[in-house]
Amino acid sequence: MTLLYSGLSLGAVYALVALGYNLVYLSSRAFNFAQAQLVMVAAFVAYTALVVFRLPWVVAALLAMAVLMVVAVIEERIALRLVTDHHTILITTLGFATLLDGAAERIWGSEALDVPFPGPEGAWSLLGGRLHTVDLALVLLAVLLVVGAHWYRRRFLSGIAIIGMSQDREAATLRGIDVRKLALITFAVSGALAGLMGAFVGPKTFALTTLGASMALKGFVALAIGGFGSLYGGLLGGFTVGIVEQVSARYLGAEFSHISVFAVLMLVLLVRPRGVFGRVRERVV
């Protein structure tokens, strides 16, 4: 059970990265390579706020959200807005990710920094396993945010508008939707989401500059399992990746955790290239 819990909590991290990918994909039809790097920077911001400035946790989380929102808006402006084709966006967002990696290393160094968590330190016994507060919080956060996002897109007009715009930007414009503004706002929200995540993920994984790449890839596997644009798919995909990683590390050895996840990705691409929840659409000339 302990293994399952730690798998789920790690999976929650990937699910949240996948949620960020999905938000940007739905609103801009683009893939934001730097999503995980935003989370990585957020963990450092949370560290600075909590440890250096000794701010209360809630304030630190809000600060991380605000900072990352600004960073995300900058990214949208320089790496997405000016570029039109999706191939190039892949390169420019990868560039932004590299830039964030480099900048974080310059500012915070390459050592792992321990981000404190406000909840009780200990772990509880639950159904024959040990569950840490951080783990529980992460899983709850992932489930809440994904359910919330799903609810938002069915319930609120702006949510409906984002889904409409993901299908046909021109038709959305003709219904009075400012598609560029809405895409920018959604991008900023994905940044704020990364900021919030940083305050939760930091305590779980430490703040570390090399965190971004691994989170980006596992988040992508979660997305591939779930199918692009599927919010619940990304959540389940994230949990799957987390559990696979933990189980393989436990039974096969630590060096097999990445390899097993990679095998899962290969399997999904081979068997269901559109993801378990994705749909196939005929291409149009």
Partner 1 sequence: MTVLWRAVRSVPPWVLATITGVLALCLPFLNLDYAVGRQIQLGLILALIVSGIGLSLGYAGQLALGQAAMYAAGAYSAGVLAIRGVTDVLVQLLVSGTAALLIGLLTGVIGLRLGAWSLAMTSFFLVLMIPDVLDVFESTTGGRTGLSGIPPGTVFGSVLTPRDFFLLIVVVSLLWFAVVRNIVTSRHGVAFQVLKESEVLAASTGVSVFRMKLIGYAVGAIPAGLAGTLFANLDLFLAPTSFGLHLATSTLAAAVLGGMVSVYGPLVGALLVQLATWQAADFQEWALVVYGAFLILGGVVFGGGIAGLVRRGIRALDRRFLPEPVTDDTGGSAAGVPPLPGEELVVDGVSKAFGGNQVLTGVTLRAAPGRVTALIGPNGSGKTTLLNLVSGFYTVDDGRLRLGEVELTGLPAHQVARRGVSRTFQTPLVPPVISVRETVAAGRYSADRVSIIGALLRGPRHRAVSRRDREQVRDLLDLVGLARVADAEASSLPLGQRRLLEVARAIASRPKVLLLDEAASGLDEQEVAVLARLLGQVRDAGCAVVLVEHNFGLVLSTADEIHVLARGRLIASGPPAAIEADDRVRNEYLGIADEASVGGVA
Partner 2 sequence: MTLLEVTNLATGYGDLRAVWDVSVHAEPGRITALLGRNGAGKTTTLRAIAGLNPVQRGRITFDGDDLAAVPAHRRVARGISYLQEGKRIFGEQTVAENLLLGGYSLGRSRRRLEPELDTMYELFPVLRDKRGAPAASLSGGQQQMVALAQALMARPRLLLLDEPSGGLAPSVVAEVLARVDALRATGLAILLVEQAVDAALAVADHVTVIDVGRVVLDLPAADVEDPELIKNACMGTATVPRT
Which positions touch partner 2 (CB under 8 A)?
155-157, 160-161, 163-164, 167-168, 170-179
Instruction: Give 88 or 173: the residue with its C-beta nearer to partner 2.
Output: 173
Distance between CA atoms of 32 and 24, rounded to whole angstroms? 7
Using the rule CB under 8 A, is 247 a contact of partner 1? no
DSSP for 230-275, written as a single string: -HHHHHHHHHHHHHHHHHHHHHT-GGGHHHHHHHHHHHHHHH-TT-
Question: What are the b/e assignments for 109-131, b being 16+ CB within 10 Å?
Answer: eeeebebebeeeeebeeeeeeeb
Query: Min. distance of Cβ 82 from partner 1 in angstroms?
Result: 5
Instruction: Give 7 or 219: the residue with its C-beta nearer to partner 1.
Output: 219
Using the rule CB under 8 A, is 99 a contact of partner 1? yes
Q: Of partner 1, partner 2, none, which one does residue 95 interact with (CB within 5 to 8 Å by kind)?
A: partner 1
Instruction: Give 124 or 156: the residue with its C-beta nearer to partner 2.
Output: 156
Using the rule CB under 8 A, is 94 a contact of partner 1? yes
H-state helical runs in 109-230: 133-155, 157-167, 169-174, 179-205, 211-226
Vertex 21 angle, CA 154 and 90, to 5°: 135
> Of 133, 180, 164, 134, nearest to 28 (Cα)?
180
Terminal C-alpha separation, the chain: 51
Widest pairwise Cα distance in the chain? 59
Site for partner 1 in 103-122 (CB under 8 A): 103, 105-106
Q: Is 71 in a helix, a strand, or coil?
A: helix
Q: Of partner 2, partner 1, none, which one does residue 177 interact with (CB within 5 to 8 Å by kind)?
A: partner 2
Q: Of partner 2, partner 1, none, which one does residue 179 interact with (CB within 5 to 8 Å by kind)?
A: partner 2
Query: Min. distance of Cβ 209 from partner 1 in angstroms?
Result: 9
Using the rule CB under 8 A, is 77 a contact of partner 1? no
The one-letter amino acid at 267: L
Q: List residues binding partner 1 (CB under 8 A).
A: 31, 78-79, 82-83, 86-92, 94-103, 105-106, 210, 213-214, 216-217, 220-221, 224, 255-259, 262, 265-266, 269-270, 273-274, 282-283, 285
